[in-house]
């Protein structure tokens, strides 16, 4: 083994007092935990807005030009979808219908609006396991699948339950798992396009009756190895201007932008995350400052015998980095557990991704650097002459 270059003073100083190290690590973990939880809630709210969109099967999305987010009830002519299908590279085009229907809780007889998703069961429009298994049952008249993540107020969701959708009888033939969002606060039901006509084609005169000729969203599947951007560009140039063409990724971003800009979610949770960050800065500063203050004479002695301020900063920053590592790991795992608990308890979509974990890791790192830089000023301003006598 090679002899170590430096005496790892930072390491020894931190680990010298086990109890203090434990407190320090707990402090950093707590700050990490706060940041993860607030970020988690923020992301959960955004993620749930686009979960339906992300699961729809198709790379390109066709919309009425007026429809700037998922819940604007504007449709476009179905023939546009068939025009788009004629483009080179497009292998399939699926119409997707959606509306809001009143769902009667079969137990309490109270009515709540649910989001109705309708499409041809033979098309893989929304390939979720519960939907794929029940395609045949879905083709029968007056049948539906219900989202098992729907709020409990919608009533029993066992297959075979008979109740009313839009004041007409309906029979549940199964469930799938999607989740709620701002636009469908109560839950989702899936029905076939034929049933969609049965329930929504002949509404009262003051309501907009629906037909299959107008589509809420068109999904286009493209062949592998096609240049998505080129197809989209061509469609935008050649299709009439009443439709808007987006890649799915673009529309997901657009949807997220809408929620970011039109709600306070981003502000509130960014504020909370920032507060978590500063709680961390203060905690770590306390820990490092205690070390520096208690070893003031020793650090000043180092300075007297020719250690530069830069080298001292290095030592304190090393302590920070060690704290980051030891604090982050438990913070991360506890957060994973809490994400699980929160998701189970609230139905929120709490997702941990590598990107999010790394962002928090970087934030933790910056947190400790700031604290270290403040704490080290105590030593840097030390006049080494004061170690003599006094």
Partner 1 sequence: MNTAVATAVQIRQLNYHFGQGDLRTQVLYDIDLDLPKGQIVIMTGPSGSGKTTLLSLIGALRSAQEGNLQVLGRELVGLNKSQLVEVRRNIGFIFQAHNLFESLTASQNVEMAVELTQNWRKKRKLAVEMLSQLGLANRVDYKPNALSGGQKQRVAIARALVNQPQLILADEPTAALDKKSGREVVTLMQQLAKEQGCTILIVTHDNSILDVADRIINLVEGRLESDENLENFVSNRDPKSIDRRMFS
Q: Which positions lie near partner 1, rule CB under 8 A?
A: 3, 5-7, 9, 12-13, 15-16, 295, 297-298, 300-302, 304-308, 383-385, 387-390
Closest CB 266 distance from partner 1, rounded Å: 45
Dihedral angle at the C-alpha atoms of 245, 250, 252, 254, nearest 10 degrees?
-90
Closest CB 325 distance from partner 1, rounded Å: 18
What whole-number distance in Å separates Cα of residue 371 and Cα of residue 317?
9
117, 128, 121: which is closest to 196 by C-alpha? Answer: 117
Closest CB 376 distance from partner 1, rounded Å: 16
Closest CB 3 distance from partner 1, rounded Å: 7
319, 236, 262: which is closest to 24 by C-alpha? Answer: 319
Nearer to partner 1, 58 or 372 (CB): 372
What whole-number distance in Å separates Cα of residue 338 and Cα of residue 352?
11
Nearer to partner 1, 5 or 337 (CB): 5
Closest CB 151 distance from partner 1, rounded Å: 57
Nearer to partner 1, 3 or 205 (CB): 3
Nearer to partner 1, 237 or 390 (CB): 390
The CB density around residue 105, as the number of other CB atoms within 10 Å, is: 16
Q: Which 3 state secondary structure label does DSSP give 382?
A: coil
Closest CB 20 distance from partner 1, rounded Å: 11
* CB distance 155 to 187 below 8 Å: no
Nearer to partner 1, 108 or 308 (CB): 308
The CB density around residue 6, as the number of other CB atoms within 10 Å, is: 11
Where does residue 142 fall: left (phi above 0), alpha (psi -120 to 50 degrees), or beta otherwise?
left
Nearer to partner 1, 21 or 137 (CB): 21
């Amino acid at each position: 083994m090679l002899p170590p270059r430096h005496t790892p003073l930072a390491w020894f100083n931190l680990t010298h007092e086990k109890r203090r190290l434990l407190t320090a690590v707990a402090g950093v973990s707590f700050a990490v935990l706060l940041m993860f939880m607030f970020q988690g809630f923020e992301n959960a709210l955004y993620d749930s807005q686009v979960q339906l969109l992300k699961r729809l099967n198709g790379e390109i999305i066709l919309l009425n030009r007026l429809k700037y987010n998922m819940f604007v009830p504007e449709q476009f002519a179905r023939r546009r979808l068939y025009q788009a299908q004629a483009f080179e590279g497009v292998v399939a085009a699926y119409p997707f219908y959606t509306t809001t229907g009143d769902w009667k809780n079969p137990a309490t007889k109270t009515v709540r609006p649910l989001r109705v998703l309708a499409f041809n069961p033979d098309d893989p429009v929304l390939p979720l396991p519960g939907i794929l298994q029940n395609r045949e049952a879905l083709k029968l008249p007056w049948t539906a699948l219900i989202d098992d993540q729907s709020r409990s107020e919608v009533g029993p969701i066992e297959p075979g339950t008979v109740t009313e959708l839009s004041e007409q009888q309906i029979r549940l033939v199964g469930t799938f798992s999607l989740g709620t969002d701002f636009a469908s606060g109560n839950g989702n039901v899936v029905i076939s396009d034929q049933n969609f006509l049965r329930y929504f084609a002949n509404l009262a005169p003051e309501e907009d009756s629906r037909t299959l000729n107008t589509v809420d969203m068109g999904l286009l599947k493209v062949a592998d190895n096609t240049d998505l951007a080129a197809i989209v560009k061509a469609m935008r140039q050649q299709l009439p201007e009443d439709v808007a063409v987006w890649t799915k990724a673009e529309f997901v971003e657009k949807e997220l932008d809408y929620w970011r800009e039109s709600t306070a979610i981003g502000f509130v949770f960014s504020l909370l995350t920032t507060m978590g960050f500063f709680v961390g800065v203060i905690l770590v500063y306390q820990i490092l400052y205690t070390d520096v203050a208690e070893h003031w004479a020793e650090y000043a002695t180092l300075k007297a015998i020719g250690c530069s301020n830069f080298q001292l900063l290095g030592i304190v920053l090393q302590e920070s980095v060690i704290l980051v590592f030891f604090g982050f790991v438990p913070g991360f795992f506890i957060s994973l557990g809490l994400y699980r608990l929160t998701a189970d308890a609230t139905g929120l979509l709490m997702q941990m991704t590598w990107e999010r974990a790394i962002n928090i890791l970087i934030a933790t790192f910056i947190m400790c650097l700031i604290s270290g830089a403040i704490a080290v000023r105590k030593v840097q301003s030390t006049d080494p002459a004061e170690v003599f006598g006094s």
